[in-house]
Chains A and B, each alone.
Chain A
Amino acid sequence: MTVVGRAWNRLTLPGKLVFTIVPFLLVGAIVVIALVVIFGQLVLDILAANLPIVRFAVAATAVLLMSVPTAFLIIYMEMKVIALMNLRVGPDRVGPYGSLLSVVHGLKVLMKEDFTPTGADRIVFTLAPVVVYLASVMSLLVIPFAPGLFGQDLNVGLLYFFAVGGLSVVGLLMAGWSSFNKYSLLGGLRSAAQIISYEIQLTLSVVGVLILAGTMSLNQIVLHQSGSFLDWFAFKQPLGLLIFFIAATAEANRTPFDLTEADSEIVAGFATEYSGMRFGFFFFAEYVNVFIMSALLVTLFFGGWTAPFDWPWPVHVDLNPGALGVGLLFLLALAPLVGTIVLAAPFWIARSSMPTWQALIIGFVLFNLLVGLGVFALAFLGWEWVVGLFWFLGKTYAFVFTFVWMRGTLPRVRIDQLMGFAWKWLLPASLLNLFVTAGAIVALGR
């Protein structure tokens, strides 16, 4: 055995790992630096020349990456909220208050067998989840999260939204047809009937908003509602809001309109034969849909990222940390230590039974929370997009909660009631809303 071999055998497992990975990392870093030095300027020039394409690619990637944590968050929210409504505890094992359980769900879904039933149309069967998921995620592109924080400001944004959102029914039909299962087929047909019917109501109910705002760009619609909460379209279009909310529930396949995956009737509907990550895509798409529908509801009727009231006094934060000089270094080095100790002291003094290290941990956590809050407050005051994102996500998750709440409360409607409600009640109501709005605009001469 050579010297190298003997030395290698003496290493522990972590040692072996470190000695394997570190050289690779070093070489990789050198290569990256070299590439940046040689080609960096060239790449930057190309990117600068094609800014719209770059912007689109970045936005699409960001939206794709954002959708999975959003789904995780909503899944956790649903598990926990419905558990509390059912007088259960809900998830409480993985992570603090079970908050990592949906991440574990995601990993579990990845590890499961990817099964295709015999007799299924393999290509369509594989493509269906992709279509459904992409249809959901692509709708996210036009939603304005905050001033300057959106994928694309299309002047036909709303049209794009409905067009792309309507694609998901194609995916559901594909899944239902290709699965070679009667329950899937029934689920797919139900979803086609349901989503197409409610798509009309959904589109008609926002025409009133379009007339009022005079534009289809979601950014412009939000800007139209800026001011106090009295300027929101919810107060000018209450009927439209109601119709939109009901149709959005049906569009997102949520209780009480979750007929496509009614587990007490057609097992799991279009997703019956799916397993593993293909099922995961359907599952994520469903929750992303909930987020999207809430986001659109907020954008159209509840002022999007605008704050419900003006901040009563103007605050200008002119922080230039660089001006502190060496003092900043001392602050960064000392503040955590001092803060931790100061915050730990009350616990340590008040409870003699508490060991010092526990008090220190509490102090550390509290200090981090305080700093986080402080940084958020500064960002909130200083940057417009943080304010916008705060209000937008706050409002959106309020409506996500409403969807979850309805799931915990209501039973499911029947398919004939569902269709009858759409065509006999919602359609006339949305037409009425449209005519009244248009008439008011003409009468008031605006």
Chain B
Amino acid sequence: MTATIPGRRYASEDDPRVILEEQVGVFEPVPPFPPRTEREAEFYTLGDGEMFLNMGPQHPSTHGVLRVVLKINGEVVTDLDPVLGYLHRGVEKLCENADYHQAICYLDPLEYVSSLFCEWPAVMAFEKLLDVEVPRRAEYIRVLSGELLRVASHALFMGWMALDLGGLTPILWSFIERDEIVEMLGSLTGARMLFNYYRIGGVNGDLNHEFMSRLGDWMTRATEQHEANVRLLNENEIFVRRMRGLGQVDRETALRMCMTGPNLRAAGVPFDVRRSHPYSVYPELDFDIPTRDEGDCLARYLLRLDEVKQSLRIIDQCLHQMPDGPVIAKLPRLLRPRPGRAYAAVESPRGQYAIYGISDGTDQPFRMRIHDPSFVHLQSVGLLMPGHLIADTMAVMASLDPIMGGVDK
């Protein structure tokens, strides 16, 4: 071996270009070999005229870091394989090593578009374990902020939906609406995105003047602004023609695939956790559960628009019925709930968001299971997408509205 100077390459086998030239070939998303399951073996065998197309995790429109391996025949998707885990942080395990107060703030970044709905079931589960009674004002504030965030989340959904179909403008219009709401919640909670506002036994801080003035300002034109955003797309022939009949699920399939939330209601099942398993002060509020029968992308889109109107109704009622009183129950600094199990579910903008917590009597949860609707909905893309064109896979995915933070946990 001759003396070598660091940083200089002598042998051709050291040259990365040479190595690359040797390895170059058509990239195939090869599974771990040998295939782990029969399904994997079947999927990674190409049929006649088929080819793999690797979409994501760095793709302009896979909603975060979802990777989908598409098996395409021309433009038609014949099969697909979603690959998850690019955003996995082990949140459930992190929560087991934090005390009950700290566990809540780990849950925020799961569904980062509507993060209050991740905190909500957790605090509800812990309150059940601790037998705490939450002040009514706190419950009303939770409902108020939650419904505001639902409007914001659905506004963002509208924009993304249009963007995945190639429309540029709606995303920016709906971001204006979302921005107003997150600014409002920012003045209430101190953060614009990851609020960490709900506490065990109540909420962190009462309604303040800035929040109320922003809210009043927004409420005067919320309906009008919503209508304006809706008019951008709802009667657009191209949009409606692309969405109608796309990614259709019937009632039974939707129930079989464990869909919840707007995706299930768009298939005609009037299941809403707020109504069927009432929590917080929802029994005292008057609102409708909109449903649609078609079960296609257009129905899922229009249903969310209807939900925004109901949310505005709920916000209005909350403001009228808001009682006085404390916003948080008196609790010790260190919480040691009785050993036991508790389950709590809320209706997040994406569906049923649930937490199943187990306490072993120490100050840390023994186990926390997070049920995320995005993850559950993502399992039905394999059912919805095959047979559609590449362009439609994005639309179907957008209409299911998954948030990858919650999927990968």
* Chain A contacts to B: CB under 8 angstroms: 82, 85-88, 118-119, 182-183, 186, 190, 255-256, 258-259, 262-267, 407-417
Contact = CB atoms under 8 A, between A and B. Distances in A.
Contacts of A266: 390
B168 A415 contact: no
Interface in B65-113: 75
B166 A258 contact: yes
Contact of A86 (B165, B173, B239): B173
Interface string B145-181: 0000000000000000011111111001100100000
A265 B61 contact: yes
Contacts of A258: 166
Interface in B18-33: 20-21, 24
30 contacts: A82-B168, A86-B169, A87-B172, A87-B173, A118-B21, A182-B51, A186-B75, A256-B166, A259-B391, A262-B391, A264-B60, A264-B61, A264-B163, A265-B390, A267-B60, A407-B168, A409-B167, A409-B169, A410-B236, A411-B165, A411-B166, A411-B167, A411-B233, A411-B239, A411-B242, A412-B238, A412-B391, A414-B389, A414-B391, A415-B389
A183 to B, nearest CB: 8
B168 A86 contact: yes
B394 A265 contact: yes
Interface string B252-291: 0000000000000000000000000000000000000000
A86 B392 CA distance: 25
Given A118-B20, A255-B166, A265-B390, A410 B60 contact: no
B241 interface: yes
Given A264-B164, A408-B169, A416 B238 contact: no
Nearest to B58: A267
B193 interface: no
Contact of B238 (A183, A256, A259, A264): A256
A264 B242 contact: no
B237 to A, nearest CB: 9
A349 to B, nearest CB: 43
B165 A264 contact: yes
Contact of B167 (A182, A186, A265, A410): A410
A412 B172 contact: no
B74 to A, nearest CB: 8
Interface of B: 17, 20-21, 24, 51, 53-54, 59-61, 75, 162-169, 172-173, 176, 233, 236, 238-239, 241-242, 389-392, 394
B168 A118 contact: no
- What are the nearest 8 A-B pairs in CB distance? A412-B166, A411-B167, A86-B172, A264-B61, A411-B165, A119-B24, A411-B166, A265-B391
Contacts of B167: 409-412
A258 B238 CA distance: 13
Contacts of B61: 263-265
Given A186-B53, A190-B75, A256-B238, 16 more contacts: A86-B168, A86-B172, A88-B172, A119-B24, A255-B166, A256-B166, A262-B166, A264-B164, A266-B390, A408-B168, A411-B239, A411-B242, A412-B166, A412-B167, A415-B389, A416-B389
Contacts of A263: 60-61
Nearest to A190: B75
Contact of B241 (A118, A265, A415, A417): A417
A412 B389 contact: no
Contacts of A413: 238, 242
Contacts of A409: 167, 169
B162 A411 contact: yes
Contacts of A183: 53
A255 to B, nearest CB: 7
A87 B171 CA distance: 11
Nearest to A264: B61
Contact of B392 (A267, A408, A414): A414
A183 B162 CA distance: 21
B175 to A, nearest CB: 9
A407 B238 CA distance: 13
B236 A182 contact: no
Nearest to B163: A264
B169 A85 contact: yes
Nearest to A410: B238
Contacts of A82: 168-169
Contacts of A255: 166, 168
B402 to A, nearest CB: 16
A87 B176 contact: yes
A412 B165 contact: yes
Nearest to A85: B169
A414 B242 contact: yes
B395 to A, nearest CB: 9
B384 to A, nearest CB: 16
Contacts of B20: 118
Most chain A CB neighbours (cut-off 10 Å) among B166, B241, B390, B394: B166
Given A265-B390, A267-B59, A415 B21 contact: no
Contacts of B59: 267
A413 B392 CA distance: 10
A183 B53 CA distance: 8
Nearest to B239: A411
A410 B239 CA distance: 8
Most chain B CB neighbours (cut-off 10 Å) among A262, A266, A414, A416: A414
Contacts of B75: 186, 190, 415-416
Contact of B166 (A182, A186, A264, A415): A264
Nearest to B51: A182
A411 B236 contact: yes
Nearest to B75: A415
A416 B242 CA distance: 10
Nearest to A263: B60
A238 B141 CA distance: 60
A118 B24 contact: yes
A317 B61 CA distance: 61
A173 B164 CA distance: 25
Nearest to B173: A87
A79 B391 CA distance: 25
A183 B168 CA distance: 21
A409 B394 CA distance: 20
Contacts of B165: 264, 411-412
A197 to B, nearest CB: 14
Contacts of B233: 411
A256 B164 CA distance: 13
A414 B236 CA distance: 14
